[in-house]
Chains A and B, each alone.
Chain A
């Protein structure tokens, strides 16, 4: 028996290492008894019906491994994404989901034992709370032990972007523990004191942490025994919900409005090429749209592919796509992610195995690279041959839009650089592509843009 590398933190429940369509968790005797009680009380059913909690069931027909008492099974989502890869709206909705579940649990005498942002995954644009073993009966009448973790994982990064206009993604890429509230206090200015939640959740909390840091261990331990009636705890959770729901991103996005400037005739021809490529390849389980921006072509692929991951380095563009996907037909099948392919998420955490790198999480059968190549090759110096190596390593099939150096968009990129891009031309692209793929189809979009279907 071996465990999934990321599931060691909770000693009462662990995820088994298994690549099957179901995730299996094993529970300790105490956790199994509590799970039985909460299921009998209908809490799981209620949260599942609301669409908040992933469906799960006890597998009492499956023998639990030695030292464990029960097995709980829940479906595996098609593609895993982490908080550093979410847009502002995604992190905010994941925070609200965590608070909604906490509120409902409190009303039923239960609580969340942790409030890690990694407890939430997205099924397309739908956040789902997946750590079913995080629910537990509330013991006594103490404060919420996971409140501090909630602040580090959700509130602080959201406040940083909402109040300072600083995108949170790189902070969360830097630490799996989120953004420490004391660090946020140093990043905020005196002006921010009047903003909602700053005086209390940031400044008062930081002062209390400083003071309590000097307390004797016995006194700090005694703090765990402090009582807070359920009604007061509920009030706190609801006030946190209002605070989080009111936060809006103030980060600047250069790309969120790009689509408005798109040439409609050109994008219609591109759409026809992408649709024909999907049909010709016969579809599949997973496709990526790299540099997805508005997600128009990601959504087109949903006709042929079961699940589409829409990647873009611009958090503003991904946030807009996320908002549009909510409530759409493809809401559960297109997953928006903030990813810069020049710096894809590496493996992270304990022994470098706790959180998988982007490429370890599943390879697509088709990848789109539309209007991306000039950004990588001309804008960021990637040699053309290496771009095609990357495409070949990523997926067995690719749709690539070659944008020549003479194209107005390329010229805009090159305006402030010395023009140095040896070998970056259509003839060389065709030659390098043919050495790695078979060119199945080719179409000229404009005199400086050419579409390719490679497989």
Chain B
């Protein structure tokens, strides 16, 4: 049964040295409880948060790696709720309502099937502390709190409900983790560096949120459990209500935490101790450049993934604009990669050399690549390119070229009398003439028709006509 699954993922920015709002170490693991703390992250009266600028840079890096749009100005908000793992009993986070804007919006990550899972928003926030129930949450008569982790920088990534199976959800997380590893935020190396909550709904039922899922296989299991549970309810005609459930790792089931009717009241409002977070264009540029692979590596990938010749790939990878265009355009139509590459490495590269200013949008280029694939004339290609450069819509219609096939054949015969002689004696030698004729007529020619014209011409010769 197909489901609609969305994920809310919390990623610790493990590449940082310090916490998000104070200078305590970000490396809180394996330290005696409550030793990696200071007045700020303990929320002592009178302390104030100071934003870690490196955290902003790393968060922007994640956003760009997911092709998200970074908001030039975003805001910190307080999310107010009482819980012992929050030293201030509010969490400093970002918000997308009440005039707030998150760090980034949009973006996507692709699954192996080619399916895109869209990202709806991303924001920066502080990690809460950790609560230990020595005997398990149900039986514990007291709990222990460790604030060592409190204040570590998190990026929350919220996806659209684009996944349909538990397996896809798991794959998304695995791909995200490996992407983060690749860009220098090695989440796979640290336990609990990537955590998630899942939203799942089946047709005819309300959305259920599952919390407390640790580990990617647990996500798959918890979601599979939910699908079984919800579809059983639906089969029996029982309404699936909107609620929040808790994944019980030990019993491998989900249990109800709270119905959404009593939805928590977070009383969000702008954090008065922090000015708006403005991200200059220069930072985005800097991060963008840092994310780029060396040209050799990129060219190697073009070859492996799309069969683009290495020398052509290098010409593209070396020029930032060509590279960006290629990588943006090729995603949606990998089958046109070679034609696209040839177009960029030749015509477009030449335009750049001549000082023509090239648009950043890849739209239209694929259309031109198709023309190249179809063997369209150079003039047509150049025409389409100028439409693209000048921002007009690029429309390519395969034009049936009215080549006079008989005159092509006539010319080939006239230029190659020996080959004609040979073909008259040996039917196999006809292929050589065919090759010459195709060359002359151009790639788009109707080969079947051309072949029969050649045969007719040879026949006429035999008959002495």
Q: Tell me if chain B binds chain A.
A: no
- Interface residues of A, Cβ cutoff 8 Å to B: none
